[in-house]
Amino acid sequence: MLEVISDAFGTVLGLSGKLDVHTAADVRNALVDAVAAGAGELVLDLSALEAVDATGLGVLVGAHRRAQRAGRTLVLVDVQVPVARLLLVTRLDRVLAIRRTEHCV
């Protein structure tokens, strides 16, 4: 579900499966730890994330705010179409930093 990679430029966390009410607590705890432990950008690779519910969106917004308070930036990378649509409908695409990499379809 969650893979963490740290380097000199920041931290990359890869999420897979679903970010929902069942997984939110574990992901939230991992994001809290990642924000506190690093510096620079906190990159969240969502290329393998299949779905997000309202609880999952709350986790992302909370991580964004926590990162800002710590002087960091949360960046969502390679957001897949179903998740991107939800971010668009909720207008969170205007709040959260979103990037695509070359390997994303």
Domain range summary for the chain, segments of one domain joined by + = 2-78+88-99
How many angstroms separate the CA atoms of 47 and 54, rounded?
19
Q: Say what the pTM is.
A: 0.86
Per-residue tokens: 47? 């290329």
For residue range 10-20, what is the model confidence (pLDDT) as tens digits? 678 899 999 99
- Looking only at the bridges linking them, the beta strands covering 97-99 and 73-77 are parallel
pLDDT digits (tens, 9 = 90+) for 75-99: 999 999 999 999 999 999 999 999 9
CATH architecture of the domain 2-78+88-99 equals 2-Layer Sandwich (3.30)
Question: How far apart, in whole angstroms, are the C-alpha atoms of residue 14 and residue 44?
Answer: 6
